[in-house]
Structure 1
Amino acid sequence: MSRSVLVTGGNRGIGLAIARAFADNGDKVAVTFRSGEPPADLLERGVLAVRCDITDSEQVEQAYKEVEEKHGNVEVLVANAGITKDQLLMRMSEDDFSSVLDTNLVGAFRVVKRANRGMLRAKKGRVVLISSVVGLMGQAGQANYAASKAGLVGFARSLSRELSSRNITINVVAPGFVDTDMTRALSEEQRAGIVTQVPMGRYGTTEEIAAAVRFLASDDAAYITGAVIPVDGGLGMGH
């Protein structure tokens, strides 16, 4: 059956690949985006694009109302929207730290809490949070980002204990280094250096992340909750 799926930050990178994967599966897909415009192929797939800054609770509420009006209650939520403001601790401002947490962690809280309303009524739901291998391993210059992505793990596992008896699963996907616009902006030397850390010797693709998300949202994953699924080519082994 076609489900109502919402992907935050679904207009580029990993979020875009996730939105495409669900749309190609026949689901009714909506994406939120803060800036720019969604690619034309998303609209051609019938994806609903809603402008929303997830740091603003009123905008989140308005986005849900629009999605619910057109697609019904959100049955699958993928909390993907995130930002980085990398800086060494001695140079990191309080805003650098708090704004990253407000988007990546508190933003996830806002969208999950709002989706939970309909999922509880329906007594079913799938939530997938997009974390990062950095949240498990740490990374110099990314204390804010790592803290926000690590926080998603505790958030998901706590919610799993609250909600799993209602047939609502909460899981985490932790991507490693993925071939996106962000990593393509690195120099060839930087890109080569990163690959040497990955046991599989290559970058992941956004489609590989999307496949893991789709699995966790499927009936095949009905007995999986509170899990952290690494899609990182072996980079985070042991975490």
Structure 2
Amino acid sequence: MRMQDKSVIVTGGASGIGLASVERCLQEGANVVIADLENSGGQARATELNGKHQGRCVFQAVDVTDTAQVDRLFADTVAELGSVDAVFNNAGIGGTCAADELEDDEYLRIIDINLNGVFRVARAALQVMYRQGSGSIVNCASILGVFGQTGTAAYTAAKGGVVNMTRTLAIEAAKKGVRVNAIGPGYIDTPLLAALDQELLDGLISLHPIGRLGRAEEIANAFLFLASDEASFVTGAHLLVDGGFTAGKS
């Protein structure tokens, strides 16, 4: 059990990559907080998982654009579980629009959730983990943190910021017993992608030399590794889990 009795927070934990990561941590013995929006279905997911994992999963509503809510998430977790040993900073949104048509409000919304929200969660985590003298933070970045793509000016700006912020936080935290890393998923097979027409879906698949989309559990496995003591000498990394997407074109 790689996470036995560890306390883990997963933001955006009610679905997709986040939910797969919650499930993997529970399987490895952790106590897990699903942190997501009030209307995300997170409470139902936590109730369902509790039936399988002896009450080791709880839900807390949080909006990562609200500093008070983020800080309360960490205070409540420490009060209930005693520590925060690992955090998957996974909450985020997509969005595509040509740069010349992108309105301020939408640009700022994407940045506030995907970059500022990651910072708010990381800051709160660092404050707790510094007091403990230990902990692991994993930020969810993207292949588009290192790779440009038409129509994603706000998203790529945010994810590029997450990659470099991760490096800076890792340097600051290293001597205080805390590791900070990032994961860069490729395109992952989720219900959102399943709604695409087959031609567009085939086009996305073709961008991955491995010949398929990723699975949520494959990102969850990467998180589990980075969060666990198996990655004790890994900090400041951006682990690309992308089926070869960023390796180049054949």
Q: Aligning the two structures, in what range does the TM-score lie when normalised by the shorter sequence?
A: over 0.9
Matched residue count: 238
| Structure 1 counterpart of 2:141 | 131
One of 41, 45, 59 as aligned partner of 1:37: 41
Q: Which one is further off, 64-73 or 74-83? A: 64-73
Identical-pair percentage: 35
Q: Gaps (5+ residues) in structure 2?
A: none
Q: Name the CA distance, whole Å, in 1 between partners of 2:182 and 2:40.
A: 27
- Counterpart residue number, 1:207: 217
Partner of 2:9: 6
Specify the SS of the correspondent of 1:236: helix
- Secondary structure class of the residue paired with 2:181: strand
SS of structure 1 residue aligned to 2:10: strand
5 Å-filtered alignment, 1:43-192, equals 43-44=50-51, 45=53, 46-192=56-202
Q: Report the TM-score, using the length of structure 2 for normalisation.
A: 0.92
Partner of 1:29: helix, strand, or coil? strand
Aligned to 1:227: 237
Alignment partners' CA distance in 2, 1:65 and 1:165: 23
Moved more, 56-65 or 11-20: 56-65
Which of residues 197, 206, 210 is equivalent to 1:196? 206
Cα offsets for 1:9-43 (capped at 9, x unmatched): 00000001011110111101001111321225334
CA RMSD of aligned residues (A): 1.2
Q: Deviations over 1:180-233 (max 9, x none)?
A: 122112111111111111100101100000001100111111001001111000
- Could you tell me which amino acid in structure 1 is paired with residue 40 of structure 2? G
User: Does the CA-based 8 Å contact 2:10-2:87 persist in structure 1?
Assistant: yes
**What amino acid is aligned across from residue 37 of structure 1 in structure 2?**
G
Report Cα offsets for 1:62-112 as digits up to 9, x if no partner. Answer: 222222221122110110000123211111101111111111111011111
In 2, the alpha carbon distance for the partners of 1:144 and 1:153 equals: 15
Do the aligned partners of 2:74 and 2:128 also contact (CA within 8 Å) in 1?
no
Contact 2:65 2:117 in 1 (8 A): yes
**TM-score w.r.t. length of structure 1:** 0.96
CA distance in 2, matches of 1:61, 1:185: 36
Counterpart Cα distance in 2 of 1:170 and 1:231:
17
Distance 1:194 1:185 in 2: 13
Structure 2: distance between partners of 1:118 and 1:66: 11
The one-letter code sitting in structure 2 at the alignment partner of 1:96 is E
CA distance in 2 between partners of 1:236 and 1:227 (Å): 15
Instruction: Find runs of 4+ consecutive structure 1 residues off by over 2 angstroms.
Output: 38-46
Distance 2:50 2:77 in 1: 15
Aligned to 2:29: 26
3-state SS in 2 of match to 1:179: coil
Measured in 2, the distance between the counterparts of 1:75 and 1:157 equals 19
Deviation at 1:127, TM superposition (A): 0.5
